[in-house]
Amino acid sequence: MDSEKLREVYVRKAIETYRKKDGYDWQSALWCSRIVGKYEKGATLGLADDMSVSTDTVEDRAHAYMLFEKLGKLDGGIFRRFVFNCRRAPFIYLSHFRALYDIQNSFNLSDYQVLSLLNDIFQDEGGISSRKLEAHTRTRYGDTRGWQYFAQRAMKEINKTLQEPNLPKDGREKLSEAYNWIGDNC
């Protein structure tokens, strides 16, 4: 199957499973993960439009699934069963994996540190919500966010602004310069 047809299948599946809602979050996340960062520029935005959600929603779902896959493959898959059990636990949600993905990037944590945080969530049986996860991480590892974290946040916001069709030309040029400078220096 060629790349374009495959992308169409992924988009259709992502939309179908997202609309089913209850019990289909992980399936929707799987299909979103097959689009985000894998195809031409604008594919994520197109999927978000087709799903009638924000690009953040599509990216959050994709990132949660990407982290789930990565943790399941860690050390040749020896943690796979644990990661799957966490996913199926009634008190661990897709939002936990999404938050762990963001925390890994913002706190510059290793995969093993993230797996340890997942274990904390599992052991606490619902006591650590996805909203409390950042505070838990800070308590456990300290605030390790550096310049790269803030640079990535700035790049994300600049990129959103650059997508606006009504952005004045001189503003677009300045923001493009800033975006490129940050990208080259982080």
3-state per-residue secondary structure call for the chain: CCHHHHHHHHHHHHHHHHHHCCCCHHHHHHHHHCCCCCCCCCHHHHHHHHHCCCHHHHHHHHHHHHHHHHHHHHHHHCCHHHHHHHHHCCCCCHHHHHHHHHHHHHHCCCHHHHHHHHHHHHHCCCCCCCCCHHHHHHHHHCCCCCHHHHHHHHHHHHHHHHCCCCCCHHHHHHHHHHHHHHHHHC
Please work out, in degrees rounded to the nearest 5, the angle formed at the alpha carbon of residue 102 by the alpha carbons of 70 and 37: 60
Predicted local distance difference test score (pLDDT) of residue 61? 95
- Asked whether residue 58 carries a pLDDT value surpassing 90, the answer given is yes
Instruction: Confirm if 106 and 73 have CB atoms less than 8 A apart.
Output: no
Predicted local distance difference test score (pLDDT) of residue 145? 66
- Asked whether residue 62 carries a pLDDT value surpassing 90, the answer given is yes
**Mean predicted lDDT score pLDDT of the chain:** 89
Predicted local distance difference test score (pLDDT) of residue 9? 83
pLDDT in tens, 119-128: 999 999 989 9
Q: Find tokens 């969530």 and name the residue.
A: 121
Average of per-residue pLDDT across 72-78 = 96
Give 44's pLDDT tier (boundaries 50, 70, 90).
Answer: confident
Q: How far apart are the first and last CA of the chain?
A: 38
Domain boundaries, the chain: 3-145, 148-185
Predicted local distance difference test score (pLDDT) of residue 90? 93
Those residues with Cβ within 8 angstroms of residue 87's Cβ, 6 or more apart along the chain or in another chain: 26, 68, 97
> What percentage of the chain exceeds 70 in pLDDT?
96
